[in-house]
């Protein structure tokens, strides 16, 4: 029988929530799939942001080969940054490989997949697309119009984050459920419209609700004991229960001929009020210097005392995109002046050896051959500095009890390999027991490296930078269908392993430049014996085209990412 595969992505899906609801009888579909299929924790990329993680799945390669490490990247030869999309990814996509082997595919809403690729089937870009009206949003031409005529409006992003910033929590939750329902209707329509060898859809609503409502299930968070918990304490659970119903509806529509994979790009968990301001710490250790004797927090504090700064915070948290545009037109310097402060442009680069963008626990070295005012020479000087920073981080202690707080400091070469490794941060910090959260220096109250936020400071920090729910490395993987081992729990699964396994299951040799391995433990012995794993001598390299966003498109992407706490 011809093999067909349905992949359902739950962005940020975590067994921490799923297992709880399964045990309470609230997710019957997942309960059945866990018993009848194989499953395991899916290890995400070290930096668990969605572009890096999903691109690893899309290509079957580690970030050092595909070149995407986050929502933005340094502009070559500058300290500025630019937003990226799927066109910045190197390496053929999974669906392009499938199409070249004659497989019919349907791809819906996979993050970091814009612009749409010409595939053998249907392709609708993910949330990195600026607009559904863009000519490269979907393939073939007219498919979105057809969907909206037959099914209803196509919604790229729920906009729940903007509603949360405006204090409209109820409407945000309603919008998330509306988007789930809309995606289910679209998927059901497309599954009935054509016959596919491979069909994939990603629901991002699990990620969105966790970012903003985790505080209501985190017993150590002040919101857990607040009156709002009565109204919003079930928000995450309700979205997961709705996704359980969505998965059942999609599987039933697809029919028994499809095997099913359910996966996430990363997991989720609570952020911490114990906050680490990396650049303040680098300053105190002598690795970074600001353009004056104060920290970025000091600059920002004085700046935001003025009307302009207060207007910016208000605009960021409250106004619609239309009104933000009007405000900027009235005062053209508003966005640029505020963003220039928040983007660390007050750093004295000529006297700085290391810095962070402060959107992740990672450090960049100010290399001479990489940055225009680089101060560190490659080779011995670089190696000496790396070891010095590692030593200082590993000896970092929490002032309140003197306990060490860093579990590991990881060099990029330890986890990444490939021609794009130079784009990666030089060092990654792993906290002990996820005790700390990195936040941008402008949210610091006292300009210290370590602060415990509370009250208004915590609420402000969670509103305009890191929200109450953040990413974890532990995602989910479930595989259900004929010849899949029932009830098997599999260890050590990585994102690129899922890609290799999909090709294998559909009868396509795994390319030799893939980093992933086939998850053979998921299959019966008979299936493996009848279908031995083959590696192809073909490679899947292709250069990234790097389709830059226009100014207006960048604004749209900025608003989305700020609401999720991915950028500041």
Reported as a single tens digit per residue, the pLDDT across 497-545 is 999 999 999 999 999 999 999 999 999 999 999 999 998 888 887 766 6
For the record, the structure tokens of 375 come out as 């101060």
Please, how many CA atoms are within 13 Å of residue 268, restricted to the half-sphere of its CB?
A: 29
Partnered with residue 535 across adjacent β-strands are: 510
pLDDT of residue 466: 87
Tell me the per-residue pLDDT of 409-425, one tens digit each, with 9 for 90 and over.
999 999 999 999 999 99
Rounded mean pLDDT, 455-461: 88
pLDDT tier for residue 330 given thresholds of 50, 70 and 90: very low
Helix, coil or strand: residue 5: strand
Cα–Cα distance list, 491 to 42, 53, 209, 310, 525 (Å): 8, 19, 28, 50, 18
pLDDT digits (tens, 9 = 90+) for 120-129: 999 999 999 9
Query: d(Cα 317, Cα 336) in Å, to the nearest integer?
Result: 17
Split at pLDDT 50, 70, 90, the class of 161 is confident
Structure tokens at 379: 């080779």
- Pick from 10, 491, 488, 559: which is nearest to 242 by CA? 10
Structure tokens at 476: 């989910």
Radius of gyration (C-alpha) of the chain in whole angstroms: 23
Confidence of residue 345 (pLDDT cuts 50, 70, 90): low
Does the pLDDT value for residue 306 go beyond 50?
A: no
Share of the chain above pLDDT 70, in %: 88
What global pTM score does this model have?
A: 0.91
């Amino acid at each position: 029988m011809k093999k067909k595969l349905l992949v359902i992505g739950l962005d940020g899906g975590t067994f921490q929530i799923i297992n709880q609801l399964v045990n309470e009888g609230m997710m019957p579909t997942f309960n059945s799939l866990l018993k009848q299929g194989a499953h395991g924790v899916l290890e995400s990329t070290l930096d668990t942001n969605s572009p890096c993680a999903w691109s690893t799945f899309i290509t079957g390669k580690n970030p050092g080969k595909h070149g995407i490490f986050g929502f933005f990247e340094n502009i070559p030869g500058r300290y500025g940054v630019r937003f990226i999309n799927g066109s910045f990814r190197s390496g053929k996509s999974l669906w392009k490989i499938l199409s070249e082997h004659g497989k019919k595919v349907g791809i819906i809403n996979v993050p970091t997949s814009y612009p749409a690729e010409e595939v053998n089937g249907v392709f609708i870009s993910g949330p990195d697309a600026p607009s559904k009206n863009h000519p490269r949003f979907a393939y073939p031409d007219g498919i979105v119009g057809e969907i909206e005529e037959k099914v209803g409006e196509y919604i790229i992003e729920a906009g729940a984050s903007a509603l949360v910033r405006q204090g409209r929590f109820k409407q945000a939750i309603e919008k998330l459920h509306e988007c789930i329902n809309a995606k289910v209707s679209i998927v059901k329509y497309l599954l009935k419209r054509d016959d596919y060898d491979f069909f994939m859809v990603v629901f991002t609503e699990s990620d969105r609700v966790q970012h903003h409502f985790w505080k209501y299930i985190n017993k150590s968070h002040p919101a857990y004991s607040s009156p709002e918990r009565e109204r919003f304490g079930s928000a995450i659970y309700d979205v997961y229960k709705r996704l359980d119903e969505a998965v059942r509806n999609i599987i039933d529509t697809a029919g028994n001929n499809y095997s099913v994979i359910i996966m996430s790009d990363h997991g989720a968990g609570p952020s911490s009020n114990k906050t680490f301001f990396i650049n303040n710490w680098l300053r105190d250790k002598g690795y970074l210097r600001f353009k004056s004797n104060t920290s970025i927090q000091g600059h920002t504090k004085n700046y935001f005392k003025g009307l302009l700064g207060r207007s910016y915070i208000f605009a960021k948290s409250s106004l619609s995109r239309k009104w933000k545009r009007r405000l900027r037109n009235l005062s053209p310097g508003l966005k640029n002046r505020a963003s220039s402060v928040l983007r660390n442009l007050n750093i004295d680069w000529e006297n700085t050896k290391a810095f962070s963008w402060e959107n992740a626990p990672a450090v960049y070295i100010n290399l001479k051959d990489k940055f225009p005012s680089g101060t560190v020479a490659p080779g011995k000087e670089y190696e000496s500095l790396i070891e010095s920073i590692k030593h200082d981080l590993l000896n970092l202690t929490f002032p309140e009890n003197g306990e060490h707080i860093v579990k590991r400091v990881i060099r990029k070469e330890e986890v990444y390999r490939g021609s794009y490794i130079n784009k990666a941060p030089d060092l990654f910090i792993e906290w002990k027991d996820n005790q700390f959260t990195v936040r941008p220096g402008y949210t610091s109250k006292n300009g210290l490296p370590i602060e415990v936020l509370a009250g208004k400071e915590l609420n402000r920090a969670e509103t305009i930078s890191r929200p109450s729910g953040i990413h974890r490395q532990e995602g989910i993987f479930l595989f259900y269908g004929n010849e899949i081992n029932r009830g098997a729990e599999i260890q050590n699964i990585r994102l690129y392993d899922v890609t290799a396994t999909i090709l294998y299951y559909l009868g396509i040799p795994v390319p030799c430049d893939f980093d992933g391995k086939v998850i053979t433990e998921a299959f019966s012995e008979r299936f493996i014996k009848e279908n031995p794993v083959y590696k192809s001598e073909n490679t899947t390299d292709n250069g990234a085209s790097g389709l830059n966003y226009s100014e207006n498109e960048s604004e749209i992407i900025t608003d989305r990412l700020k609401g999720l706490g991915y950028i500041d």
